[in-house]
C-alpha cells in the first residue's frame, strides 16, 4: 500500500495559544502547568512536545529537585485532544523516540506509530524522569489525563477531583499507558473500566491511587509543602529510590504487561476502522462527554 497524505485528510490545526505549557522554578521546585484551559487542557501534540521540553528543562536544571505537574483552569486534563480546533495528531513531529514519522502512513500503521511515540513512548519517558514528580490534580482527570497523572510519582488531589477512563465505550480496553491494574487492584480496575464512570477523589484515595485528598483551597499549599519536604533530600537518593521502585514494578510485570495490552489496544483501533471507518468507534469529545453525563 502506498504512503498516503494524512495531512490533507484532516483540517489544519488552529492553536489558541503559543504557550500550551507554562514553566517556572522556585525554591528547588519546578512547576509545569498545562495551559489550554479553554479546552480543559486537552492534550494535542503541541502540548505533548512542550510538556516533554519542560520536563527536559527541569531534569537539566541542577537547582530543580522536585517537579509539580498541574493544569490551568477548571480541570487537570480532559485527556487526549479528539476534537478541538488545535487537534494536530496528523502532523509530523520532531520525535523523541526512534520511531519513524507516522504522518504519511496508511491504515493501522498511522495510529500505531503515532501512539508508540506520543503516548506509550512519551509516558514511559516521563515515568523515568530521575527526579520526583507530583501531579496536583483538581477537577477532571479523564483518559489521557490519567496517563499524565499516573506517570508522576505522587498524586495530590483536591476533594473535587475525579478520575475516569471511559474508552471501553469506544470498544478499546483502556488508555494506551495501561497502568490500571497497578494503580488500582485488578477487581477495582475492571469495575473502573467496565463502567467507565467517575471515581471521586475519596475513593481513589481509598484504593491507593492518590496520596492525599485535600480541600480545593488547600491543594496548592499542601502540594508545595510536600514538594519542599522532598526537595531537602539528596538528589541521588531520590533518583535511586525512584529507580528502585519503578524497577520492582517492572519486575511485577508493569512494562511487559503494558506492551501486550498496547497490541490489544491497537487491535481495537483497527477493528473500529474496519467496521465503522473510525478508530474511535464513532465517538468524539462531545459524544464522550455526553455519555459520561448520562450515567
Nearer to Zn ion, 153 or 176 (CB): 176
- In whole angstroms, the minimum distance from the beta carbon of 267 to Zn ion comes to 11
- In whole angstroms, the minimum distance from the beta carbon of 23 to Zn ion comes to 28
- In whole angstroms, the minimum distance from the beta carbon of 101 to Zn ion comes to 18
- Measuring CA to CA, how many Å separate 75 from each of 3, 24, 39, 141, 148? 39, 20, 9, 7, 13
- In whole angstroms, the minimum distance from the beta carbon of 291 to Zn ion comes to 18
List CB contacts of 230: < 8 A, sequence separation 6 or more: 65, 66, 132, 238
Nearer to Zn ion, 139 or 145 (CB): 145
Nearer to Zn ion, 79 or 132 (CB): 79
Nearer to Zn ion, 88 or 115 (CB): 115
Nearer to Zn ion, 65 or 114 (CB): 114
Q: Is residue 9 helix, strand or coil?
A: coil
- In whole angstroms, the minimum distance from the beta carbon of 63 to Zn ion comes to 37
- In whole angstroms, the minimum distance from the beta carbon of 112 to Zn ion comes to 9
DSSP 116: I
Distance CA 171, CA 165 (A): 12
Nearer to Zn ion, 54 or 149 (CB): 149
- In whole angstroms, the minimum distance from the beta carbon of 17 to Zn ion comes to 25
Joined grid coordinates for residue 195 = 463502567
Distance CA 110, CA 178 (A): 20
Question: Could you list the residues that contact Zn ion (CB under 5 A)?
Answer: 115
CB–CB of 154/213 below 8 Å?
Answer: no
Integer distance in angstroms from the first to the last C-alpha of the chain?
Answer: 42
Nearer to Zn ion, 115 or 153 (CB): 115
Amino acid at each position: 500500500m502506498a504512503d498516503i497524505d494524512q495531512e490533507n485528510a484532516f483540517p489544519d490545526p488552529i492553536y489558541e495559544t503559543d504557550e500550551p505549557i507554562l514553566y517556572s522554578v522556585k525554591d528547588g521546585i519546578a512547576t509545569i502547568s498545562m495551559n489550554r484551559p479553554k479546552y480543559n487542557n486537552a492534550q494535542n501534540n503541541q502540548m505533548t512536545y512542550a510538556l516533554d521540553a519542560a520536563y527536559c528543562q527541569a531534569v537539566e536544571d541542577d537547582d530543580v529537585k522536585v517537579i509539580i505537574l498541574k493544569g490551568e483552569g477548571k480541570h487537570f486534563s480532559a485527556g487526549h485532544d479528539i476534537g478541538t480546533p488545535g487537534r494536530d495528531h496528523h502532523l509530523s513531529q520532531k520525535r523523541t523516540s526512534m520511531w519513524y514519522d507516522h504522518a504519511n502512513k496508511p491504515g493501522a500503521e498511522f495510529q500505531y506509530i503515532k501512539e508508540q511515540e506520543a503516548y506509550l513512548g512519551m509516558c514511559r519517558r516521563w515515568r523515568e524522569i530521575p527526579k520526583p514528580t507530583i501531579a496536583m490534580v483538581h477537577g477532571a482527570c479523564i483518559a489521557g489525563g490519567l496517563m499524565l497523572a499516573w506517570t508522576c510519582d505522587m498524586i495530590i488531589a483536591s476533594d473535587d477531583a475525579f478520575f475516569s477512563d471511559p474508552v471501553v465505550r469506544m470498544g478499546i480496553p483502556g488508555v494506551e499507558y495501561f497502568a490500571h491494574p497497578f494503580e488500582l487492584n485488578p477487581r477495582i480496575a475492571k469495575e473502573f473500566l467496565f463502567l467507565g464512570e467517575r471515581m471521586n477523589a475519596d475513593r481513589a484515595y481509598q484504593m491507593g491511587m492518590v496520596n492525599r485528598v485535600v480541600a480545593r483551597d488547600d491543594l496548592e499549599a499542601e502540594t508545595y509543602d510536600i514538594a519542599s519536604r522532598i526537595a531537602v533530600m539528596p538528589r541521588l537518593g531520590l533518583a535511586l529510590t525512584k529507580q528502585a521502585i519503578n524497577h520492582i514494578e517492572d519486575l511485577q510485570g508493569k512494562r511487559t504487561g503494558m506492551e501486550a495490552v498496547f497490541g490489544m489496544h491497537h487491535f481495537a483501533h483497527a477493528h473500529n476502522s474496519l467496521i465503522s471507518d473510525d478508530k474511535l468507534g464513532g465517538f468524539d469529545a462531545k459524544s464522550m462527554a455526553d455519555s459520561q453525563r448520562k450515567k
